[in-house]
Amino acid sequence: MRIFSGIKPTGPLHVGSYAGAISQWLAFQKDPASEGFFCVVDLHALTNNPSPEQLRRDIMETAAGYLAFGLHDARFPIFIQSHVPAHSELTWVLSTLAGVGELERMTQFKDKAGYAEILKARDRVTQRLEQTIEELDLLQAGSMGAHHRLVRDQHKEVIDGYRSLKEELDNLHALLTARDSRVGAGLLNYPVFMAADILLYDTDVVPVGEDQLQHVELARTLARRFNSRYGETFKLPRAKLVKGASRIMSLQDPKKKMSKSLGSAHYVGIFEPADIVRKKIMSAVTDSGSDIKYDPATKPALSNLITLMGVVTGKSASNIEHEYAHVGYAAFKEKLAEAFLAFFESVRRKKAELDKDPHHVLFELKAGAEKAREITNKKLRDAQYKIGLV
Ligand code: AMP
Ligand code: TRP
């Protein structure tokens, strides 16, 4: 079974990526019936507009992280996406099969482009404007009788409200226009590139976090479209998620997914100094009450911490609830920080060693890229031939 997955080098590896992706990669690596590639998807990171120094640092950090986890062996090489040019070449071909509307509907695009929030705000303001017009109509009808002065005052109030809503709407419109010129085309094409990554390897399974489900679906769609037009060429991949841990939430805002882009306090990095790990976990927000209880609907923050405790101890949520039922939030967070550091201790040690030896990291990456090129050159050639390129 062929596995393919990757992580964007846009900052430190955090426990969300471990829970959703890396933990699965390690399991596949142990399974002798599986083989595949783990990629540092550096070209995807460009959509964040990093500085060259930052990008170089993040690429090496992410690769060293993979090696520290032991994610590199004969059956599972690691490599850097830009070292294998076929990824970029197939992206162009697939982009001619993808619809702009289809890409604009991707949740990640809408979130990153900032459209979702603006559009929601616009709907809210428009609705309030409509209510205001109804109120005006009512006032108009009522003004036929007596109490003229009172009605005039009420009129004025409603019209002032109308003016300020109209201003809000104009501002939102300006915001949308400004976004339009700032949102890069790379962000829109992002999932097409990801489809190329996956399809080049005849991938069966893509182990990822929940946020990538829609992108893997698109890879399937594009593969199907290519095959039906040009003949059987690409295998249809399927995503695989970790049950119960495919969406770790932010430590500061349990309504949002833990991610590097929210800011440092929102995530806890696998390789951060121990005192920072403790500080971040101790400062995680909690819910009202004091019981250690797993209930995402009423206790989203605590449920997320319980999930994290499960990730680093292997215990079920109900076992954790029993064990820590009445210790209180602070003591639970202390235990979580210690369990986190104990679980990742050996990987953290290995990573510190690798940081001193970037040549070794590069050596492994180059060896991996060579193996990847062997596979992708053949696949790309096959696709190009079928399209009619000579
Ligand atoms: P990224 O760092 O965004 O490239 O994500 C790398 C991998 O980790 C992808 O498979 C993501 O779906 C997964 N991932 C990232 N953040 C989380 C999270 N908060 N919970 C679960 N999986 C995640
Ligand atoms: N888009 C993924 C993310 O943001 C990273 C990625 C790029 C990827 N190419 C991939 C994941 C191919 C799996 C397979 O996390």
Using one digit for the tens of pLDDT, what is the confidence trace for 209-222?
Answer: 999 999 999 999 99
In this structure, the answer to whether residues 228 and 205 fall within a common structural domain is yes
Q: Which mutation among 10, 17, 268 tests ligand 1's pocket best, with the greatest number of atoms within 8 A of CB?
A: 17
Q: How far apart are the first and last CA of the chain?
A: 32
Instruction: In whole angstroms, give the CA distance from residue 78 to residue 7.
Output: 11
Model confidence at 145, pLDDT cuts 50, 70, 90, reads low
pLDDT at 52: 97
Ligand 2 proximity of 6 Cβ (cutoff 6 Å) = yes
**Residue 369 within any structural domain of the chain:** no
Which range of residues forms the domain containing residue 321? 271-343
What value does the mean pLDDT take over residues 148-177? 83
Q: What is the percent of the chain where pLDDT is above 70?
A: 98
Lowest mean pLDDT segment, chosen from 29-38, 44-53, 103-112? 103-112
DSSP notation for 64-129? HHHHHTT--SSSS-EEEGGG-THHHHHHHHHHTTS-HHHHHT-HHHHHHTTHHHHHHHHHHHHHHH
| Coil, helix or strand at residue 248 | coil
| One domain, residues 46 and 167 | no
Query: Does 212 share its domain with 65?
Result: yes
25 and 94 housed in the same domain: yes
| Total domains in the fold of the chain | 3
135 and 94, same domain (yes or no): no
Please indicate, yes or no, whether residues 12 and 55 belong to a single structural domain of this protein.
yes
92 plus 234 within the same structural domain: yes
Residues 175, 194 within the same domain: no
The strand order across the sheet containing 238-240 reads 78-80, 35-40, 2-7, 205-207, 238-240
**Distance between CA 37 and CA 29 in Å, rounded?**
10
Q: Which residues have C-beta atoms less than 6 Å from ligand 1?
A: 7-8, 16-17, 19-21, 208-209, 211-212, 246-248, 257-259
257: left (phi over 0), alpha (psi -120 to 50) or beta: beta
Q: What is the pLDDT of residues 270-286, one digit of tens each?
A: 999 999 999 999 999 99
14: helix, strand or coil: strand
- The reply to whether 178 and 37 lie within a common domain is no
Q: Which two tokens stand for residue 383?
A: 């696709």
pLDDT interval class at 138 (50, 70, 90): confident
- Same-domain status, 90 and 206: yes
Is residue 284, in this structure, part of any structural domain at all? yes
Of the ligands numbered here, which is closest to the C-alpha atom of 13? 1
Give strand ranges (E) for 114-243.
205-207, 238-240
Pocket flag, ligand 2, residue 36 (CB < 6 Å): no
